Every structure is written in C-alpha cells, then in structure tokens.
Amino acid sequence: MKILAVDDDLLILEFLSAVFGMFGGHTLLTADSGAQALEIAAANPDIQCFLLDVQMPNMDGITLCKHLRAMPSVGRAPILMITAMSEKRYIDKAFAAGATDYINKPFEISELRSRISLVDSLIGDAGITADKIFAVRALKPKTAGQSTTLLTPFPIHDIDGVIDEVALENYLGRLTRNQLFGSSVFSFAVRRVEELYAAMSPFDFEAMIIDVAEALSECMSDHQFLMAYMGDGIYGCVTEDGWTPDTERFVDTVQLVLHHMDLHCSDGRPLKVRVSAGVSQRLTWRSGNAAVSALVEACNSAKQVAEQKEKDLDEFWFLGKTA
C-alpha cells in the first residue's frame, strides 16, 4: 500500500518511516506540512491511504483532510487522523471533515499495525467504500432480484456533518464510554424506497439520496452531529450534547424542506419523497460494539417505522370496514 504520512514533527516522520520499514509491504511517503502534502498527493494519484496529524501549524490536519477529499485522484482513499487520545473535539471535527478513522498518539506499534492492516485488507478486497459489511446489511440479507445499489451505501461528499458509513462505524466503535456520554443515535428511512428505486435510474436514485441527506443536514444544522448513508434508504445519525430530535416535529420540518427543494427525476417527473424517523437511543455508558449495536437498532427501527407508516396509509381507507 502506498501511504502518505503528514506531520510537522520530523522525528515522528522518521519514526514512522522506521516503523513501516519494519512492517514491510508498504511504501511510505512523508510530508511535514499540509501544503507539501497536497503537492505530493497531486503528483502521486496512486496513494492509497493518508495518515494526517491533526495539530499542525498553518494548515491543520482537518483542513488538509477536506482538501484531500476534494481531490478527484485521491479523494476516496482512507484517511487516518493521528491525534492524542483525549482530544475528542478534534476527533469529531476530523470525522466531520471526512476522516475514515483515527490513530492515537503516542503510537502503540500493535495498534498502528492493526489499523493499517485493516485499511489494507479493505482496499485489497474491493474498495473501502463498497465492501465493508455493516451490521445493518448483515441483519437484512440481500434477496433475489434486489439490486446491490439499493442496499449498498455510497459516500456523500460536501454536505455538513455527512460522512462515510465506515467512518461512522469507526467513530462509534472507537470512542470510550466517557467520550460517548451525552451522545445519542437515531436514524431516518426513506419510505417506499424499494418502489422509488425501481422507478428511477441508479443516477437519479443516488441524487435523491443525496438530496435527502442535504435536507436532513440542514434541519440538524443547529446541533453537533455526524450522519452517514447506510444503504437501503437509511441514514444513521449520532448527535452530541444530549440532543435528540422530537421526531414527529423534526420529520415535519424535513418534509417541508424536501417540499421546498421541489425534487424531480432527470426525465422531469416530480419526485415525492417521504421520510420516517426511528426510535432514538442515548449512548449512556455504551461504547465499542454496544454503541455500534445501538446504531443498528436505530436503523432497524427507522425501517420498521417507515414500513408501518406506509402500511397504515395503505389501510387507511379500509379502517372501520368489515368484510
């Protein structure tokens, strides 16, 4: 794997070069500033992974992460942020900027090796954004005739707070109980997503998913949050500061924003999109796999609510009638 490590401390770069030399199997490029990193990234479109120190003078790692994500040649490569363990505010900002995961500094050799091996194996399979089997999909296996595109998440860029689903899972899975205290998870589902998917081109479907993400992001803009598209019309969210939405009112607000967006397919057909919210869960004293499980439960809940709402709508005219 070709990796670019960026740190303003030359000793850290020298240390990483020695460590990766010991690991073997990788080519490590180094840069001691954000500006130099961008030059190297532009000249090396085959870079497969970035290691970025968060705190650097002039251009910090978070700004650099945003710039790298905007580069077509390397913009989808995994980005691992290097940060001190206690800096949760930097971790949150890093994920919001598009980081895939983070590594603690001081470095633990075994941790560094395992994070790099994980990235390497994901890249080696089929691309990190496509092949990570998130638990939501594991719980909802693909059935015959269903297209992969409906169930498979895809990255959404340039919308505030929206990150890759792999990154959201890493974020939840890596933070400690104390760091997640006060966080909540919840999710939204596009109603009748299977019908919508069947009725439009994959391009239009992706555009619709991005538009809904934009509407959700806009409605949460007063709060600190991270959100990812999990596939199957579902969006998983993590919020901070104890905030969880009043779901009914929030969904009404989202519907209003979607209405104002006046969505259309590329062939001119108007697009009626409705969303539902699942049950939110506070992450009080939940971390690691338990926190990821809470997100899975929230996603399943949103899907169930969406299906129930549509069922209720279908049966509305028959309520009170007997055979």
Partner 1 sequence: MTMQLIEIPGLARIRERYYAAQTLRHDRLEVLLEIIRANADPFDALVEARGILHQISGTAGSLGFAELGASASKTEYLIDGHLHLGRGDPRNVTEAIDAFLEISLDFCHPTL
Residue among 133, 69, 115, 71 at smallest CA distance from 292: 133
* Choices 4-12, 246-254, 294-302, 310-318 (CB under 8 A): range interacting with partner 1: 4-12
Q: Which is nearer to partner 1, 86 or 266 (CB)?
A: 86
- Determine which residue in the list 2, 19, 130, 140 makes contact with partner 1, applying CB under 8 A: 19
Residue among 295, 294, 240 at smallest CA distance from 95: 240
Tell me how far apart the alpha carbons of residues 47 and 85 are, in angstroms, rounded to a whole number: 26
Q: Which is nearer to partner 1, 55 or 304 (CB)?
A: 55
Instruction: Report which residue type is found at 63.
Output: T
- Residue 24 binds to partner 1 (criterion: CB under 8 A): no
Question: Nearest approach, Cβ of 221 to partner 1 (angstroms)?
Answer: 24
- Determine which residue in the list 15, 154, 181, 243 makes contact with partner 1, applying CB under 8 A: 15
Question: Nearest approach, Cβ of 122 to partner 1 (angstroms)?
Answer: 21
* Choices 51-59, 130-138, 167-175, 182-190 (CB under 8 A): range interacting with partner 1: 51-59
Instruction: Report which residue type is found at 69.
Output: R
- Residue 282 binds to partner 1 (criterion: CB under 8 A): no
Q: Which is nearer to partner 1, 55 or 247 (CB)?
A: 55
Question: Nearest approach, Cβ of 31 to partner 1 (angstroms)?
Answer: 17
Query: Would you say 135 and 296 are in contact if contact means Cβ atoms under 8 Å apart?
Result: yes
Tell me how far apart the alpha carbons of residues 97 and 65 are, in angstroms, rounded to a whole number: 6
Question: Nearest approach, Cβ of 182 to partner 1 (angstroms)?
Answer: 17
Residues with Cβ within 8 Å of 248's Cβ and at least 6 positions away in sequence, in order, are none
- Determine which residue in the list 14, 194, 195, 246 makes contact with partner 1, applying CB under 8 A: 14
- Determine which residue in the list 84, 126, 199, 313 makes contact with partner 1, applying CB under 8 A: 84
Coil vs helix vs strand at 215: helix
Measured torsion, CA atoms of residues 167, 173, 176, 177, in degrees rounded to the nearest 10: 120
Tell me how far apart the alpha carbons of residues 105 and 63 are, in angstroms, rounded to a whole number: 19
Question: Nearest approach, Cβ of 310 to partner 1 (angstroms)?
Answer: 48
Q: Which is nearer to partner 1, 12 or 305 (CB)?
A: 12
Instruction: Compute CA distances 222 → 141, 160, 239, whole Å.
Output: 36, 11, 11
Query: Would you say 213 and 159 are in contact if contact means Cβ atoms under 8 Å apart?
Result: yes
- Residue 43 binds to partner 1 (criterion: CB under 8 A): no
* Choices 68-76, 102-110, 186-194, 292-300 (CB under 8 A): range interacting with partner 1: 102-110
Query: Would you say 61 and 38 are in contact if contact means Cβ atoms under 8 Å apart?
Result: no
Q: Give the total of residues touching partner 1 (CB under 8 A).
A: 21
Q: Tell me whether residue 13 is exposed, middle or buried, using C-beta atoms within 10 angstroms of its C-beta: 0 to 12, 13 to 18, 19 or more.
A: buried
Question: Nearest approach, Cβ of 103 to partner 1 (angstroms)?
Answer: 11
Judged by the rule CB under 8 A, the positions of this chain that interact with partner 1 are 9, 11-12, 14-15, 18-19, 21-22, 53, 55, 57, 82, 84, 86, 105-107, 109-110, 113
